[in-house]
Structure 1
């Protein structure tokens, strides 16, 4: 499989969780830090959004497939930011070809806070 560089048309931010210690109380604080900004191909998996109910709150899930040049520093506990939207990795990373590319499945989750 060859990854065509011309299809990498979206600039995404890959973030990883960073744990820092609170200087006043000594407790652990979780935050996200930028690992890299890379060009990627992003494709929605379904043409429309899938909607489900969870504890009477409407939850929208929008899965997408992300392909980028090969990296060996990606893990499934990272997240991706695209156009101001935060997307969690739900599958992958999977190697494409012989280290030609990486594929991730990501999903944007947003709650609109309205009771169903």
Structure 2
């Protein structure tokens, strides 16, 4: 991945961070705030179906590659083409701080 062509970053994704707001009853509600909109390569993998209690839930896995950032965490999410992608992991594929590969699943 060290030779990745920046021209492959054809998509725009928005990195969103959770914002917790006290609900006045000792709990909190979670909203989302845009951290940044960045260029990305979005790679779709074949969707899988997982059994979830009494119903089946379709999961659509993606890998999103962006220029390296050290502020992306698994508690954040991505928004791409109106879809919400939950982050399940992230890594620096070549170890040189040039690219960040983010493993995600689209919400059903």
**Which bracket does the TM-score occupy, shorter chain normalised?**
0.7 to 0.9
How many residue pairs get aligned? The number is 105
1:79 aligned partner: 77
CA distance in 1, matches of 2:17, 2:25: 22
User: What is the 5 A alignment of 1:31-46?
Assistant: 31-46=31-46
1:95 aligned partner: 92
Report which of the two has the higher share of strand: 1
Q: Structure 2 length normalisation: TM-score?
A: 0.87
Gaps of at least 5 residues in structure 2 are none
User: What is the 5 A alignment of 1:43-58?
Assistant: 43-46=43-46, 49-58=47-56
Match of 1:96, SS state, is coil
2:29 aligned partner: 29
Gaps of at least 5 residues in structure 1 are 111-116
Displacement over 4 Å in runs of 4+: none
